[in-house]
Amino acid sequence: MAMRTGPARLAFPAALLLLGVGCGQDDPTPAPVRGRVYYQGALVTGGTIVFTPDADKGGRGPLARGDIRPDGSYTLASEGQPGAAPGWHRVTIVSVQAAPDKPIGTAFADVRSLLPRKYAAPDLSGLEGCVKPGEENVIDFHLD
């Protein structure tokens, strides 16, 4: 039986290496994460973004969240500290608008989502982010 050599023999190990490169799940130190959120080309001007470690891709640690500011930007924090655990995360984004006569925070406020519901569920959103250790991560989201 002849053994294969050359590029085909090296392709599989190289592919395995590439799967884990860059997300650094081995370093538990939170890394800074910031970015902007867009929906249909326009900035999302309020809401919440949550990064949940993706255990299916080796992610672990506490979830991180951030408020989406009026300029569409966000900065994540986790357990009261700036940043998020390095590794792969599933991402959820929520943005709601209150009815004019019942502002958010009042009893029985009427709200409507400004984004499709799928973006509010980590298993349905299809959004993910790779937080790299030891560097500032800028992760923008362009939603349809």
DSSP string across 71-131: TSEEE-EETTEESB-SEEEEEEEE-EEE-TTS-TTSTT--EEESS-GGGG-TTTS--EEEE
pLDDT digits (tens, 9 = 90+) for 88-119: 999 999 999 877 766 666 665 677 899 999 99
Provide the token pair at 83.
């940043």
Are residues 89 and 125 in contact, defined by beta-carbon separation less than 8 angstroms?
A: no
Which three-class secondary structure state does DSSP give residue 132?
coil
Among 22-26, 78-82, 83-87, 89-93, name the one with the lowest average pLDDT: 22-26
- Alpha-carbon distance values, 75 to 35, 50, 69, 128, 143 (Å): 7, 10, 9, 16, 18
pLDDT digits (tens, 9 = 90+) for 19-30: 444 576 677 899
The closest of 40, 99, 34 to 69, measured between CA atoms, is: 34
pTM: 0.79
Which three-class secondary structure state does DSSP give residue 44?
coil
Are residues 91 and 72 in contact, defined by beta-carbon separation less than 8 angstroms?
A: no
